[in-house]
Structure 1
Amino acid sequence: MSTETFPRQYARTQRFTVGAPRSFAVAPDGSRVVFLRSRGGAERANLLWTLDPATGAERVAADPVELLGGGEESLSAAEKARRERSREGSAGIVGYALDGSGSLAAFALSGRLFAVDLAGGGAPRELPAEGPVLDPRPSPDGSLVAYANTAGELRVTAADGSGDRALATPERDGVTWGQAEFIAQEEMDRDRGFWWSPSGDRLLAARADEAPVARWWIADPANPDVVPAEVAYPRAGTANAEVGLWLLDLDGGRTKVGWDGAEEPYLARVHWSGSALTLLVQARHQRTQRYLTVDQATGATTTELAERDEVWLDLFAGSPSRTADGRLVRIADQDGVRVLVAGDLTLSDARLHVRSVLSVAETILFTASGGPADDSAEPGWIGTFEVAPDGTGLTRLGTAGVVSAVRGGDVTVLLSADTSWNGARAEVLRGGATVATVASYAETPVITARPEFVFAGERRIPCAVFLPTGYDRERDGLLPVLMDPYGGPHGQRVAQSQNPHLTSQWFADQGFAVVVADGRGTPGRSPEWEKAIAFDFAGATLEDQVDAVRALAGTYPLDLGRVGIRGWSYGGYLAALAVLRRPDVFHAAVSGAPVTDWRLYDTHYTERYLGHLDERPEVYEANTLTGDAAKLERPLLLVHGLADDNVVAAHTLRLSSALLAAGRPHVVLPLSGVTHMTPQEEVAENLMLFQVDFLKKSL
C-alpha cells in the first residue's frame, strides 16, 4: 500500500495529467484518432499515438526516447517561452499538426523537425531543418512542411526532406515571421503565426516587430553569474508589437494584406477554408472588432461584419468558422445572452451560454453552460452540443458534468469528466455508438474530492464546498474557513469534475471548510455576469467572496471568526485584496504570484477590464494594492517565482516594500528559478505544506 502523500503525488504527476491522453485529433474521414500520451503516470514524455476506430487498436506512431536515442531534450528559450504561455509542463512530443487528410503528422522535438506517415504506419523520419524549429505544420496535401525557427524565419521543406528554404527572413533583430507575439499567446489564445491555404500553394504569415515594445530583464538572484533574460513585455498603457500579414507564394511572391493596424492592432483570429480567408481584428480598447474578408489576389480586405460592445468584446475558441455554404459561424452577445450564430441565423437560445465552437461540418459542435433561462439545479456543468446549420436538431452529447469533443467524419472523441470518477474519459464514438475507449495511464489520486455544488446568496454565486473527510458536526463543531478562489476573468473553478477539486479537498482534510466561489467576472453564466467587473476588479470580485462565505454559513459549519483565503495569479491578487480591504471578514491570506499593481500587467488583458492607463489612471490606482499597505492588520504570506515573466516578481516586491515602509509585518516566500506555473516537483509539494502551516498558525 502506497504511503505517498497527496502533495507529493499531485506535484509528481503534474496534477494527475501525466499518463492521461490529450491533444486529440480525428482524420476527416474518421479512419484514425491521433493523440498524445506518456507511457505511464510516472513518465512525463509524451508519445504520439494513433487509434483505429474499426478495431480499437492503439499504436505508437512516434516515441521521443527512441528519436533522441535516449538523450535529454534541449529546449530553446523561444520554445520554453511558448510552453510557458500555453502552461505546458510535460515533455517529449507536446504538440503536432496534421495534413488535410490526417495522414501525415509533423512535430518538433528538442528543436528538431520530424514527420511520420500515420496512414502507412512507417517509422518517423527527421527532416533536415534550420532549427531550433518551432510549430511545424504540413501542407494540406502532405507534400510540404512549413515551420518557424528561433532565428525568426518562416521556412518550408518537402516532406521527403528535400528543398528546405526560407520564405521570409527578418531584416533585423526583434522581427519574427510565422510566430505569434507575446500578447497573442498569453491573452488572445492565438498561438500560431502562419496558415496554409486550402490548396497548399501559399501561406499567410504574420510578421511581428517587437521593436516598439519595452524591455524587461528577468534575473535569477540565486545565480548572479547568469545573464538576465530579456523579455519584450507590453505592459498596460505602453506599445504593443506591430503585427502585419503577408500572403507568401511558394515561388517567392509576396502580397501584403491590408488592414488598419493602427486602428485595429490586434490580430485575434484567422480562418481559411474553402475560398474564404477571414480575419478577426480588434481595436485596442476592445469595444469594436471587424470580421474581414481578404481578396487573395490583391491582399485588400473588406468588412463582412463589424461588432461593437459598450463594455468589451470577448474572443472565443473556434470563432469565427465557416459553414459549407460559406456562412460565418461566430459567438455573439445578443440581448443579454451569449449565442451561436451562423450568418444571420441564431442557433441557440437563453437556456445556453455558448463558450466555444469545436467543429463545423454537417452539424456544428459547440460547448455551452447554463444561460440566463437555465433552471439547472446545480452550477458548474459544461456540456457539448450539436446543431444543424439551419438551427434544427439541437442535441446534447453525453451526460457527464464537463464534456468536450473532437470530430472527424462520423467519428467523435467524447471527453467527459465528472465528480464520480477521476480524470477525463475519452470515448470513441461512431454513429453515436461507443466503439473504443482510449486508455488513461494517469495515476489514481490517493484522495477523493467530495464537492457540494450550491448557489450562494441573492446573486446565486456558484460555489463548491468541501468538508474534511469523516467530518461529524456534533463531534467536530464549526470549522475554520478557507476561501480558495481564482475569482477573475477566464478562471472558472466551480466545475462538475473530480480532479480540479482535489487540492481544495486536501486543504479541507487538514481541518478546514473550504469554499470555492466563482463570483462576478468569472466565465460561464452570462455576458452581464462577466462584464460586471468593468473598471472595478477590486469591488465586485471581493464583494462576491464576502457574500458567498456569509451566505453559506447559514447551511454549512463555517466559523466566520476564522476565515482564511488563498489564491494564485488573479486569485493571489484577490487574497491580498481581501485582508487589506476586508479584515473584518478575512483573518489570514496566502497570496501567490499576485498582480499587485495593474500598471505592471500586460495590455490586452488589463486594458480590456480597466481601460487605457492614460485615460483612466484613477481606475488603476483604485485597483492597485500598494496604496493599501498601511491597512494590513492580518497575517499575509506572499509567494512569488522569481523567474515569472507573466506576473513579474516586482509585483510582490513592491507590495512588500510598501508594507515594510508602513510598518506592517508580513511574510515573503521567494521561489528561485520558478515561473508562473511552479512546475518543479519539490517546490509544488512543499509550497502546499507551507501554506497549511501558515494558515493553521494564523487562524
Structure 2
Amino acid sequence: MTTDTFPRQYARTQRFTVGAPRSFAVAPDGSRVVFLRAKGGDDRANLLWTMDPTTGAERIAADPVALLGGGEESLSAAERARRERSREGSAGIVGYTLDGAGALAAFALSGRLFLADLTGERPTRELPAAGPLVDPRFSPDGSHVAYATVEGELRVTRTDGSGDRALATPERAGVTWGQAEFIAQEEMDRDRGHWWAPAGDRLLAARADDAPVQRWWIADPANPGSVPAEVAYPAAGTANAEVGLWLLGLDGSRTELTWDREAFPYLARVHWSEQELTLLVQARDQRSQRYLTVDQTTGATTTVLAESDPVWLDLFSGVPARTADGLLVRIADQDGARVLVAGERQLTDRRLHVRSVLSVGSTVLFTASGGTEETDPVPGWIGTFEIGLDGSGLTRLGAAGAVSAVRGGDVTVLVSADPAWSGARVEVLVDGEPLATVASYAETPLITARPEFVFAGERRIPTAVFLPTGYDRDRDGLLPVLMDPYGGPHGQRVVRSQNPHLTSQWFADQGFAVIVADGRGTPGRSPEWEKAIAFDFAGATLEDQVDALRALAGQYPLDLEKVAIRGWSYGGYLAALAVLRRPDVFHAAVSGAPVTDWRLYDTHYTERYLGHPDQRPEVYDANSLTADAAKLERPLMLVHGLADDNVVAAHTLRLSSALLAAGRPHTVLPLSGVTHMTPQEQVAENLLLLQVSFLKEQLGS
C-alpha cells in the first residue's frame, strides 16, 4: 500500500473539502436543516441530507449512487463550464433548491431532474424533463419546477410529473433563456438566470445573446485529432453578451422589462419579494449603478436609487434585499467605511467592514471584518453579526470567527473557523442556543498549520508567517523565504482558519520561512485599501509584498539573499511581476496561470480596475508583463493548464515567446487537459513537489 503524503492527501481530498458538510438551508419554519455532504473524506459524490435541529438526527434524503443505479455521472459541456465558473470540484449532488415550505428539494444529477421529499414520506423520484438540464428552481408553492437546458430553453414542469413544456426557446444559436451569461458567472457572482414570482404564476427570465461576443478556440495540443472548444470570451475592450429580462407567465403571457440598457448593460442582481421586484444594473465602467423597481404589468422600470463612485462600485452577496415593509437593504461605501444600510438608515459604522448580507427578517444577519485597529486586533478575522433594522442590538454570533450562517424560523446554522482546529465547525442554534452540530467526514490533514498573524510595516499589512515544524533559530539559523500571495481583488489569503494555510505550512516544512501578505487591493480592510490599486495593479500590490518582507525581517529569521515567490492566477501574475521588476528583492519565482497581458482578460473584472483599454492604453501597457521580458534575470517557472478558458494559455505562451525573443532563459510547464482549477489529483500533487524542487535548486537551499 502506498504511504500517503500531504501533497497526495491534499490532492485526493480536493483540499480537504470532500466529506465536509456544505450548502446549508433551513426550512422557513425551522423544522429541518438541509445540506450536502459526501459519505467520507475520499468520496467526491455529495448526498442530500436533512437534520432535525431539536434532536440532531440526520437522514439521507437523496443518494446519487442509488439514483443512477451505480452508474457514472454524465456531464454536458455546459454543466462542466458552469462548475468551472463556480470553482466546483465535487461530484454527485452539487446544488439544490427548496420549495417555499422547505419540504421538497429539486436538483439536477447527470443532466436529469430529481425531486426529493424532505419529510421522508415519499422516496426521491425522477421527473420527466428535457435534458441535459441545469439549475432547476422550485415555484414557491412547490407545484412546479423551472429549469434551463443546454440547448438554451427555459422550461417548466409540474411536480406531479406532468405538463413539461417550454416557456421560452432560443430563436437562433448563441441565445439562451434562463441562464447567466459567462461574465455574470465568472465575475459578478450571479449564477442564475430565472426567478419565480412570489405568487408562483410567472417567472422572470434573462435572455442572453452572445452573438456580439468574439470567439476563441481552446484546443487540446496533446490530442491533435480533437476539435477545439469554441468559447465566447468577452475580453477587455470587446463586446459583451446582450442581456435582457422578460416576465413569462405560465399562461403564456410575455412582457419585456425596459431600462436604459445602453447606459447600464450589466444585470448584476435580481431580488423578488412580496413587496417589489428589484433590479441592480451597472454601467460598463462600474462607476455608476441603478436600483430599479419594476411595474409588473407593463415591464417599465423606475429608478429608486442611483449610486456612483469615482473609482468603482463593488457588488455584494445577499443585496439588494427588502425588509417586510419594503425597505431596501444594501451595502454601501459611505464616509470612508463599508456599511449596512436599510432604507435611509445607516445601521453600522466604520468599526465594521461589512462583507455580505446573509438574511433579512426582523433583523439583518451579515458578515463583517474589523474596520479599525481597535476592532481588528489580529489580521484575517471575519465574523457573523446580527443587528436590528433601527441599528440597535448589534450582536456577534459565535465565539470564534463565524464565516457564514443561514436562518429559518428560530433555527440558525452557524459555520465557524479558527486556526486551532481543522476545517469548519457547524453548529445548529435554536433561539440562539446551540442544540446540535453537523459532523464533518473530511479527513484530518497529515500536517497542522501554525500561522503567526501579524501586521507588517507602516501600512499594517495583514500577514501570516509560517516556520518549519521543529525549527530552532539557534540551531537552524536564517531561512530562505517563500512569499506565497494571491495579492489581488477578492482574494483574501490571511484568514483566521486552519485549512487555507496547510499548503503554506507544507512549504515551510520543506525548509522555508513562508509569508502570506494581503496588501492593498485585497478585501476586508476598508474601501480605500481595496481601491488603492485602481489603474495600478503592478505598483501597489508588488510594493506591499516588498514592504511586508522587509518589515518582517526584523522579527523573523529571514535570509533576504534567498527570496522566492509563488502564486496562481493573480498570484501568478504577481510572482512573475516580482522577478521581472524587483530582481533586487526576489531571486526565483513560480508563476501559475498568470495574466500576463490584461487585454486578454475579461471585461467586467479588468475594466473595473484598469478602465477601458481604448481609453487607457497606457495603463494596460504599464500593468502587463510581456514588455518587461528583456528585464528577466532571475529563474522563472511558468505553469499553465492548456484547457484553461478563464486565464487562457495564450498568456503564458506570449510571455514565453517574448522571453525567448529577448534571450532570457525560463521554464514552461504546460498541463495538458487542465483547467484553471487543476482538479486532477496527480497534477495537483506533483505540482507541489515540482515547485519545491525548482525553488530549492534555484535558491541553492
Same-fold call, TM > 0.5? yes
| Matched position secondary structure for 2:542 | helix
Aligned letter for 1:592? G
Tell me the equivalent position of 1:154: 154
Does structure 1 residue 455 correspond to structure 2 residue 451? Answer: no
Tell me the equivalent position of 1:442: 442
In structure 2, distance between residues paired with 1:502 and 1:259:
48
| Matched position secondary structure for 2:689 | helix
8 A contact 2:352–2:375 mirrored in 1: no
Aligned letter for 2:13? T
How many positions carry a matched residue from both structures? 699
In structure 2, distance between residues paired with 1:402 and 1:238:
40
In structure 1, distance between residues paired with 2:158 and 2:403:
38
Tell me the equivalent position of 2:270: 270
| Matched position secondary structure for 1:630 | helix
RMSD in angstroms over aligned alpha carbons?
0.9
Aligned pairs for 1:534-549 (under 5 A) are 534-549=534-549
Tell me the equivalent position of 1:11: 11
8 A contact 1:27–1:408 mirrored in 2: yes
In structure 1, distance between residues paired with 2:292 and 2:86:
27
Aligned letter for 1:134? V
Aligned letter for 2:22? R
8 A contact 2:130–2:149 mirrored in 1: yes
Aligned letter for 1:302? T
Tell me the equivalent position of 2:494: 494
String of CA shifts for 1:564-599, please: whole Å, max 9, x gaps: 000000000000000000000000000000000000
Aligned pairs for 1:57-206 (under 5 A) are 57-206=57-206
How far residue 697 of structure 1 moved from its aligned partner, in angstroms, is 0.3
Does structure 1 residue 585 correspond to structure 2 residue 564? Answer: no
Tell me the equivalent position of 1:481: 481
In structure 1, distance between residues paired with 2:311 and 2:22:
35
Tell me the equivalent position of 2:355: 355
How far residue 375 of structure 1 moved from its aligned partner, in angstroms, is 4.2
Does structure 1 residue 557 correspond to structure 2 residue 557? Answer: yes
| Matched position secondary structure for 2:315 | coil
8 A contact 2:384–2:401 mirrored in 1: no
How far residue 390 of structure 1 moved from its aligned partner, in angstroms, is 1.1
Aligned letter for 2:393? G
String of CA shifts for 1:258-316, please: whole Å, max 9, x gaps: 01111101000000011300000000000000000001111000001000000000000
In structure 1, distance between residues paired with 2:565 and 2:515:
9
Tell me the equivalent position of 2:683: 683
| Matched position secondary structure for 1:420 | coil
String of CA shifts for 1:330-359, please: whole Å, max 9, x gaps: 000001000000000001011100000000
String of CA shifts for 1:192-239, please: whole Å, max 9, x gaps: 000000110000000000000000000000011110000000000000
String of CA shifts for 1:163-195, please: whole Å, max 9, x gaps: 000000000000000000000000000000000
In structure 2, distance between residues paired with 1:52 and 1:590:
48
In structure 2, distance between residues paired with 1:376 and 1:302:
40
8 A contact 1:483–1:564 mirrored in 2: yes
8 A contact 2:275–2:325 mirrored in 1: no
Tell me the equivalent position of 2:651: 651
In structure 1, distance between residues paired with 2:335 and 2:105:
43
In structure 2, distance between residues paired with 1:429 and 1:403:
15
8 A contact 1:212–1:242 mirrored in 2: yes
Does structure 1 residue 284 correspond to structure 2 residue 279? Answer: no
Tell me the equivalent position of 2:594: 594
8 A contact 1:400–1:418 mirrored in 2: yes
Aligned pairs for 1:562-577 (under 5 A) are 562-577=562-577
Tell me the equivalent position of 2:674: 674
In structure 2, distance between residues paired with 1:379 and 1:121:
48
Tell me the equivalent position of 2:527: 527
8 A contact 2:145–2:159 mirrored in 1: yes
| Matched position secondary structure for 2:142 | coil
In structure 2, distance between residues paired with 1:373 and 1:335:
17
Tell me the equivalent position of 1:208: 208
- Structure 1 unaligned segments of length 5 or more: list them: none
How far residue 404 of structure 1 moved from its aligned partner, in angstroms, is 1.5
In structure 2, distance between residues paired with 1:3 and 1:649:
34
String of CA shifts for 1:28-57, please: whole Å, max 9, x gaps: 100000000000001000000000112110
8 A contact 2:331–2:339 mirrored in 1: yes
- Structure 2 unaligned segments of length 5 or more: list them: none
Aligned pairs for 1:246-645 (under 5 A) are 246-372=246-372, 374-645=374-645
Tell me the equivalent position of 1:21: 21
Does structure 1 residue 38 correspond to structure 2 residue 25? Answer: no
8 A contact 1:402–1:496 mirrored in 2: no
8 A contact 1:61–1:121 mirrored in 2: no
In structure 2, distance between residues paired with 1:261 and 1:569:
32
In structure 2, distance between residues paired with 1:405 and 1:514:
32
| Matched position secondary structure for 1:299 | coil
Tell me the equivalent position of 2:53: 53
String of CA shifts for 1:435-467, please: whole Å, max 9, x gaps: 111011000000000000000000000000000
| Matched position secondary structure for 1:56 | coil
Segment of structure 1 superposing worse, 564-573 or 109-118? 109-118
Aligned letter for 2:66? E
Flag as ranges the 4+ runs of structure 1 deviating above 6 A. Answer: none
Aligned letter for 2:247? L
Q: 1:351 to 1:126 in 2, by over 3 A?
A: same
8 A contact 1:380–1:401 mirrored in 2: no
- Normalised TM-score (structure 2): 0.99
Aligned letter for 2:333? D
In structure 2, distance between residues paired with 1:523 and 1:158:
43
In structure 2, distance between residues paired with 1:200 and 1:674:
42
| Matched position secondary structure for 1:231 | strand
How far residue 545 of structure 1 moved from its aligned partner, in angstroms, is 0.1
Aligned letter for 1:115? L
| Matched position secondary structure for 2:607 | helix
String of CA shifts for 1:476-512, please: whole Å, max 9, x gaps: 0000000000000000000000000000000000000
In structure 2, distance between residues paired with 1:280 and 1:254:
22
In structure 1, distance between residues paired with 2:9 and 2:513:
23
Aligned letter for 1:119? T
In structure 2, distance between residues paired with 1:97 and 1:402:
24
| Matched position secondary structure for 1:161 | coil
8 A contact 2:487–2:574 mirrored in 1: yes
- Normalised TM-score (structure 1): 0.99
String of CA shifts for 1:407-441, please: whole Å, max 9, x gaps: 11100001001000000011100011111110110
Aligned letter for 1:596? T
8 A contact 1:402–1:495 mirrored in 2: no
In structure 2, distance between residues paired with 1:374 and 1:687:
41
| Matched position secondary structure for 1:248 | strand
How far residue 531 of structure 1 moved from its aligned partner, in angstroms, is 0.2
In structure 2, distance between residues paired with 1:550 and 1:660:
32
In structure 1, distance between residues paired with 2:143 and 2:191:
24
In structure 2, distance between residues paired with 1:688 and 1:402:
30
In structure 2, distance between residues paired with 1:547 and 1:272:
47
| Matched position secondary structure for 1:584 | coil
| Matched position secondary structure for 1:244 | strand
